[in-house]
Amino acid sequence: MIAIKTEGLTKRYPNGRGCSDIHIEVREGEAFGFLGPNGAGKSTCVKMLVGLTFPTEGRASLFGEPIGSLAARRMIGYLPELYRYQEWLTGREVVELHARLCGLSREEITRRVPEMLDKVGIGLRSRDRVKHYSKGMQQRLGLACALVGDPRILFLDEPSSAMDPIGRGDVRRLMRELKERGITIFLNSHLMEDVEMLCDRVALLNDGKILSQGTVDEVLRKSPVWRLRVGGWEPRLLEWLREETGLKIVMSGAQADGAAVLEAEIVDEEQAGWLHHLLIEQGVILYESARAQTRLEEWFVTELAGKNHRGERA
Ligand SMILES: Nc1ncnc2c1ncn2[C@@H]1O[C@H](COP(=O)(O)OP(=O)(O)OP(=O)(O)O)[C@@H](O)[C@H]1O
């Protein structure tokens, strides 16, 4: 079932910025990574999907319900990029308020609010006022608010931007758990590792438009480069190996004690076997050998190379 569908979704602000002609489909239970440089239009698109701002053209739906409708809004949980909660309330009161807005019954509120506060790791501080919370705690509070209504679709705009590495790890685990429960996740993030680990598919936005989209597996195509960490290396071997194998081999790191890292472009596995055989025959010690993988970060940088990032320009 399609959870999120957009057709030519466009928002043009009076200054001409925003995003345009966005076509995406996210299936139920999928995690979708929405990526792009600063100012690309990611938050604008999310704000339309959650019904906070209106499209100037195009349309979109959540499980078939038009965005902005009550039926669509009932299905979502949203952690905004710039979250601010009522400083004079306690954390618990803020989540209770969100639970009431979601229409939860008194019994559900009594059960779910403390459960969500514990889940995001602020249960012990839930009776403190928000003004005494750190930025990371406020972001955790925002996650509790997004989750309290038990949403079918979760929109997370930079969910761990204010958190320390421990907090980021907590959010990563939480997102994985939610995905395992079948919740559809739409994630805006600059943390490529998180996107790579969680998302099934990604779209890359630049200058308000989708530049590229596909499954994470497609994007992280296997690279032809093998990386070998070796010991007992002698510089004379490099030229000899190139001649024996006919492969393009470079040394990406060599030390006086014979430790070195080689990178070889290998198309088929026979060549890999031959290279490893020759190295061992020459008395080289193989500590590690693996095919290098393109990381999402490299994909992001490569796709955007030479492109204009209008959103960031004055
Ligand atoms: N309310 C607004 N009025 C006018 N222009 C806006 C408004 N909100 C955003 N913009 C502009 O629209 C473009 C897209 O902004 P948006 O916040 O959607 O980008 P983003 O991809 O979420 O960026 P970031 O990664 O920095 O959060 C930017 O050029 C921004 O300056």
ipTM, 2 dp? 0.96
Q: Kindly list the protein residues whose Cβ atom lies closer than 6 A to any atom of ligand 1.
A: 13, 15, 17-18, 36, 38-44, 81, 311
pLDDT grade for 52, boundaries at 50, 70 and 90? very high
Atom of ligand 1 nearest to the CA of 14: 4
Q: Output the CA 36–ligand 1 centroid distance in Å.
A: 12
User: Regarding beta strands 76-79 and 153-157, do their DSSP bridges make them parallel or antiparallel, or are they unpaired?
Assistant: parallel
In percent, the amount of the chain with pLDDT more than 90 equals 76
In a domain, 192, yes or no: yes
Q: How many domains does the chain have?
A: 2
Q: Looking at the structure, tell me whether residues 228 and 82 fall in a common domain.
A: no
Q: Output the CA 64–ligand 1 centroid distance in Å.
A: 27
Residue 56 clears pLDDT 50, i.e. is over it:
yes
Q: Output the CA 167–ligand 1 centroid distance in Å.
A: 26
Q: Looking at the structure, tell me whether residues 149 and 23 fall in a common domain.
A: yes
Q: Looking at the structure, tell me whether residues 184 and 41 fall in a common domain.
A: yes
Residue 176 clears pLDDT 50, i.e. is over it:
yes
In a domain, 240, yes or no: yes
pLDDT grade for 268, boundaries at 50, 70 and 90? confident
Q: Looking at the structure, tell me whether residues 233 and 90 fall in a common domain.
A: no
Report the predicted TM-score, pTM, of the whole model to 2 decimal places.
0.83
Cα gap 176→154, rounded to integer Å: 12
Domain range for 94? 2-220
Atom of ligand 1 nearest to the CA of 310: 29
pLDDT for 313:
45
Higher-pLDDT residue of 178, 252: 178
Q: Output the CA 195–ligand 1 centroid distance in Å.
A: 21
Q: What is the dihedral of CA 41, 45, 50, 54, to 10 degrees?
A: 100
Low-confidence winner among 45-49, 50-54, 180-184, 306-310 (lowest mean pLDDT) = 306-310
In a domain, 254, yes or no: yes
Residue 314 clears pLDDT 50, i.e. is over it:
no
